[in-house]
C-alpha cells in the first residue's frame, strides 16, 4: 500500500495553515473592532445557501468527481466506488458525532443562555422553555464549540484529499471500457468537476474567514477547527488505510491490475515498441 504520509505531505501543511489561520484571525477579532460587513450577518448568501447545507454540497460535488473518474478509468470500479462510499459514510458519522452529539452536549451543560438568530443574548430568560416560546428563532445554548469552524475545516481537507487523484492527467486512460462518456467528454467533464470542487473549497475558505472574524469566541473556533482537523486526520491516515478503503492502491497490488483490459493492452504495446529486444524475447 502506498504510504499516505509520504504521498500527501502538502495536506499536512494545509491542515496546519488552516489551524494557524483560524487562531490568528480569531485572535485578531478579540483585540480589534472589526467593522460590520455583508458577511457579518448570518443571513448572507454563503451561510444561507451553502454552509447550512455544507455537508450535502461537499458529498455531492466530491461524489460527482470520484464517480465519473472511477467508472471511466478503472476495471475494478465497483470496488473503488464502494471504497469511496465507505469513506463518505465514515466521515458523515464523525460529522454527526461531533456536531450533533458532542457539541450539543457541551452546549447543554455549560450554563446556557437564550440567544436570538443573530447571536444576541436575551436577558431575563432563565430556562429553555421560556426561550423557545419567544417569537422568532431563539436558541438555548451554553459554551458553543463552533460547528462552522469544524465543518469548514473538515470539508476543505476532505475535498483536498479526494482531489489527490487527477484522473484525466494519469496514464490510466480508457477508450470507454465501462465509461459513461467518451474519452473526449471525459477530458472536459473531469476537469470541470475538479474545478467545481476547487470553487467549493474557495467558498468554504471565505466562510471560514467570516466565521473567525465575526462569530463565536476564540476558544470556540479553535476547538471547532481542531476537532475538524482531527476527524480528517484520523479518518484519512488511520481508519481508511486500516480498512483498506483509502485512496492508495489497495492491498499493495500492482496498479496495472486495476486498469481496464483495453488500456493494459495499449501499455504493453507501447512498452514493446520502446524496447524491441524485450518483444523478441
User: Domain range holding 93?
Assistant: 11-106+152-249
CA distances from 239 to 157, 230, 242 (A): 16, 12, 5
Residue 257 falls within a domain, yes or no? no
The pLDDT value recorded for residue 39 is 84
Buried b (16+ CB within 10 A) or exposed e, 101-112: eebeebbeeeeb
What average pLDDT score do residues 189-213 get? Answer: 93
**Average confidence score pLDDT of the chain:** 78
Q: Tell me if 23 sits within 8 A of 222, measured CB to CB.
A: yes
- This prediction's pTM: 0.76
The pLDDT value recorded for residue 107 is 77
What average pLDDT score do residues 251-275 get? Answer: 44
pLDDT digits (tens, 9 = 90+) for 103-125: 888 877 776 778 887 778 887 77
Most confident option among 47-56, 100-109, 112-121, 141-150: 47-56
Q: Tell me if 117 sits within 8 A of 42, measured CB to CB.
A: yes
The pLDDT value recorded for residue 261 is 42
pLDDT(9) > 90: no
Most confident option among 59-73, 222-236, 238-252: 222-236
Please report where in the chains the cell 455531492 appears, as a residue: 60
The pLDDT value recorded for residue 91 is 95
Residue 202 falls within a domain, yes or no? yes
Side-chain half-sphere CA neighbours of 162 within 13 A:
35
pLDDT(136) > 90: no
pLDDT(258) > 60: no
Residue 94 falls within a domain, yes or no? yes
The pLDDT value recorded for residue 21 is 95
Residue 2 falls within a domain, yes or no? no
What average pLDDT score do residues 38-44 get? Answer: 84
How many domains is the chain partitioned into structurally?
Answer: 1
Distance of alpha carbon 21 from alpha carbon 252, whole angstroms: 37
Residue 281 falls within a domain, yes or no? no
pLDDT(61) > 80: yes
What average pLDDT score do residues 72-88 get? Answer: 80
Side-chain half-sphere CA neighbours of 20 within 13 A:
6
Residue 276 falls within a domain, yes or no? no
Which stretch of 35-49, 132-146, 171-185 has the lowest confidence by average pLDDT? 171-185
What's 206-239 look like in SS3? HHHHHHHHHCCCHHHHHHHHHHHHHHHHHHHHHH
CA distances from 259 to 58, 61, 86, 203, 218 (A): 28, 24, 22, 35, 49
* All residues at 6 or more sequence positions from 3 whose CB lies less than 8 Å from its CB, including other chains: 248
Closest-CA residue to 260 (of 178, 145, 200):
178
Distance of alpha carbon 65 from alpha carbon 170, whole angstroms: 15
- For residues 137 and 7, which has the higher predicted lDDT (pLDDT)? 137
Residue 111 falls within a domain, yes or no? no
Residue 260 falls within a domain, yes or no? no
Amino acid at each position: 500500500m502506498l504510504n499516505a504520509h509520504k504521498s500527501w505531505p502538502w495536506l499536512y501543511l494545509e491542515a496546519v495553515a488552516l489551524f494557524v489561520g483560524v487562531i490568528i484571525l480569531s485572535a485578531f477579532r478579540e483585540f480589534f473592532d472589526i467593522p460590520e460587513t455583508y458577511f457579518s450577518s448570518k443571513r448572507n448568501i454563503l451561510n444561507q445557501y451553502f454552509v447550512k447545507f455544507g455537508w450535502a454540497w461537499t458529498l455531492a460535488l466530491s461524489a460527482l468527481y470520484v464517480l465519473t473518474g472511477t467508472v471511466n478509468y478503472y476495471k475494478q470500479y465497483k470496488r473503488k466506488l464502494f471504497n469511496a462510499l465507505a469513506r463518505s459514510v465514515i466521515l458523515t458519522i464523525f460529522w454527526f458525532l461531533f456536531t450533533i452529539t458532542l457539541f450539543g452536549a457541551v452546549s447543554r451543560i455549560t450554563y446556557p443562555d437564550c440567544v436570538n438568530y443573530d447571536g444576541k443574548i436575551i436577558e431575563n430568560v432563565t430556562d429553555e422553555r421560556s426561550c423557545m416560546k419567544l417569537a422568532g428563532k431563539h436558541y438555548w445554548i451554553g459554551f458553543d464549540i463552533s460547528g462552522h469552524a469544524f465543518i469548514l475545516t473538515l470539508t476543505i481537507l476532505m475535498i483536498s484529499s479526494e482531489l489527490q487523484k487527477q484522473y484525466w492527467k494519469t496514464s490510466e486512460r480508457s477508450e470507454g471500457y465501462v465509461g459513461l462518456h467518451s474519452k473526449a467528454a471525459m477530458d472536459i467533464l473531469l476537469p470541470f468537476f475538479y474545478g467545481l470542487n476547487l470553487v467549493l473549497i474557495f467558498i468554504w475558505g471565505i466562510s471560514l474567514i467570516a466565521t473567525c472574524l465575526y462569530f463565536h469566541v476564540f476558544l470556540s473556533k479553535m476547538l471547532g477547527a481542531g476537532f475538524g482537523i482531527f476527524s480528517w486526520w484520523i479518518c484519512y491516515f488511520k481508519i481508511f488505510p486500516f480498512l483498506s478503503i483509502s485512496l492508495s492502491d489497495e492491498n499493495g497490488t500492482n496498479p496495472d491490475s486495476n486498469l481496464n483490459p483495453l488500456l493494459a493492452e495499449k501499455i504493453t504495446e507501447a512498452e514493446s515498441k520502446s524496447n524491441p529486444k524485450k518483444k523478441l524475447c
